[in-house]
Amino acid sequence: MARDFFINGPTMVFVKGRTDSTIANLTELGLTDVPVRVRPQFRHRPIKVDAWGDAPPEVQFMLATVEITASLIHFDRDVLDACLRLSMGGVLDTGMLPIAGTRLGNKKPLFHPGSSLVGNHFVQLALSGPISGKPWRFFACYMNTIPMDFPLGVEKSAVVTNWTCIPYDRDLYNGGTGSNALYLWDHGTPS
């Protein structure tokens, strides 16, 4: 690939959730008023050796997560509510709470249907790349700590949504290979 300006193009935010949710198929969430920000968060752990003073002679990669921020300006409110319900533990109604400590994955494959304690409530988040031809697909996401910043007034609301993508897997040992070859994201076309 030659050096050039990188232009992603008009970026649509897509979501897909549990097969028994209202976003069982790939669904448009909306368009943003400012660029979508994708920030991988690498976890590196330095190895300290006394002979090397305070500088690490070696570093270990302890996996990563991704933070995605999308400020939605032209969006489907119902789809946003569906994402909120799933991120809150797969509850039945918007604003409802599940039992404290409810898991999002429940050791089920992605999109597995079921109630709070049974289904897999992770949301697959996808970003189109119409000009660049390099879309993004984040496999296991949820709306994180401050899931949205929702201004209400006479002006159109630009809702800032915050997402976290984690390396979810059902088998944590995988024959001793752990997370080896597990995808956190890829650039495949969402479906």
Partner 1 sequence: MARDFQIAGPTLVSVRGGMHWASGYLRILSQLGLCQEAIKIEVKNFHRNIGADSTGPGVTVDVMVNSTECEVSMRLIHFDPLVLSCCISDSMGGATLIDPNLANPPGFNNVRDSDLFLGRKPPPGGRLLGNGLPRFASGNYYVGLNLQRADDMNERPWRFFYAYLMQQPIQHKIGVEASVVELKWRAIRYIPLWQSPAPQDFSEANANTNNAPAWVEQLKSIQKPNDTFDTYRMLKEIRTDSYDLPLWDHTTDDDSNPF
Residues that bind partner 1 (CB under 8 A): 47, 58, 60, 99-101, 172-178
**Residue among 167 and 190 whose Cβ is closer to partner 1:** 167
**Residue among 99 and 154 whose Cβ is closer to partner 1:** 99
Judged by DSSP in three states, 83 sits in helix
CB of 121 to partner 1, least distance (A): 16
Specify which residues 12 forms β-bridges with. Answer: 31
CB of 96 to partner 1, least distance (A): 17
**Residue among 5 and 173 whose Cβ is closer to partner 1:** 173
Judged by DSSP in three states, 41 sits in strand
CB of 116 to partner 1, least distance (A): 13
Instruction: Please name the residue that has the structure tokens 């993508």.
Output: 165
CB of 101 to partner 1, least distance (A): 3
Among positive and negative, which fits the CA dihedral 36, 163, 42, 129?
negative
Give Cα 130 distance to the centre of its chain.
20
CB 17 within 8 A of CB 111: yes
**Residue among 146 and 172 whose Cβ is closer to partner 1:** 172
